[in-house]
Amino acid sequence: MRKIILLGATGSIGENTLEVVDAHRDAVELVGIAANTRWRELAAIAQKYAVKHVAIFDETAAQEAQGSGTFPAGTRFYVGLDGLIEIATLAEANLVVTAVVGTLGLKPTLAAIHAGKDVAVASKEILVLAGQFVMAAARERGVSILPMDSEHNAIFQCIGEEKRHVDRLILTASGGAFRDYTLEEMARVVPADALKNPNWNMGPKVTVDSSSMANKGLELIEATWLFDLPESRIDIVVHPQSIVHSMVKFCDGSVIAQLAPPSMTFPIQHCLFYPKRLAGTRPSLDFTQAFSLEFRAPDYGKYKCLRLARAASRAGGIAPAVFNAANEVAVDAFLKGKIPYLEIPEIIERSLEKIPNRVPVDLDDVLAADAEARLLSGQ
Ligand code: MG
């Protein structure tokens, strides 16, 4: 029986996770749930799945929740960052799913690993900012880091027991909303244009990141940590259909790919029951119907964010954290109409130039770099 703590229960990954839980109530139990502010949604989830432990990061929201009388009788509440850390280390859980937005999930995730729990990682920041600490702690404690992002989950499935035979990883990318735009056309886009992803239904930040391929850049950095390979051994290929979720090329030249329809329920379910496989919640690919798969190299001239992510990954130290923070600030400014679209990579580049790189000593040091980059790129 999987007994899970779901950090980020009210977001889009949380929603998809609940869909999988719903389909397999006899194989998985929701022990605890956490969210930042949306306590009404948490209350509904707590009622439906009889969840006993509820964490809310925002203190005002937590107060409202506790006084609302909408949670099941006897609910135990956890508040703030300490609350998130406490719920992530509950003795009765054996898997923590980290799907909270931003850097909020870092400390709870590390605490869960130290407490000996397997962790399914959906939040990009966990590995982009703290890859070395997370992987080292997981090795030390002998726990599994299960990648929930579709690309990394695909690679994880393709590698199987053959890690030592891996030659290269091939990360696929939809190419986002502007994959057929020229650089001149990209210069004129407005937020509404960037919020249309052709294949995936995601939140606004990720959708913009997908259009600029900053998202693939973050995934590239994550992959270096998860699979212990330098960025030079990870290729990126534009695959407009988003059916091949990534591939692995082995030393003998064979390539293994993982295919599924573009729905997060597939990688989520794989993580929840790994190494077992249970019946899927959605229809899979139907090969009796004709469809085609295309692949093409990304235009690095057009996707500057991708170039910068590769450079940040090569540089190591706090550079990936700076890349991530500057991108987040820039995307926010773009969505608010304060900067043009192509200013996003410029802000990232300036931040990477201005902040001297260093090897972080611990998680707090990385978080300090994150804060510094946010301050600087917002100016
Ligand atoms: Mg992805």
Domain assignment present for residue 350? The answer is no
72 with 177, same domain: the answer is no
With 90 as the cut, is the pLDDT of residue 322 above it?
yes
Q: How far apart are CA 270 and CA 279, in angstroms?
A: 10
Binned at pLDDT 50, 70 and 90, residue 60 comes out as very high
How many angstroms separate the alpha carbon of residue 86 from the centre of ligand 1? 28
Domain assignment present for residue 268? The answer is no
pLDDT digits (tens, 9 = 90+) for 7-25: 999 999 999 999 999 999 9
Better-scored residue on pLDDT, 159 or 194: 159
**What local confidence, expressed as pLDDT, does residue 203 receive?**
77
Mean pLDDT calculated for residue range 167-175: 97
Which of 96, 120, 148 finishes a domain? 148
Mean pLDDT of the chain: 96
Residue 55, both tokens: 């964490």
How many angstroms separate the alpha carbon of residue 148 from the centre of ligand 1? 9
Sign of CA dihedral 167, 146, 137, 306: positive
pLDDT digits (tens, 9 = 90+) for 178-237: 999 999 999 999 999 988 877 776 778 888 999 999 999 999 999 999 999 999 999 999
Q: How far apart are CA 357 and CA 355, in angstroms?
A: 6
Q: How far apart are CA 45 and CA 27, in angstroms?
A: 18
How many angstroms separate the alpha carbon of residue 66 from the centre of ligand 1? 35
Binned at pLDDT 50, 70 and 90, residue 141 comes out as very high
162 with 296, same domain: the answer is yes
How many angstroms separate the alpha carbon of residue 235 from the centre of ligand 1? 15
62 with 161, same domain: the answer is no
Tell me which residue range forms the domain holding 76: 2-148
Read off the pTM: 0.96
How many angstroms separate the alpha carbon of residue 151 from the centre of ligand 1? 5
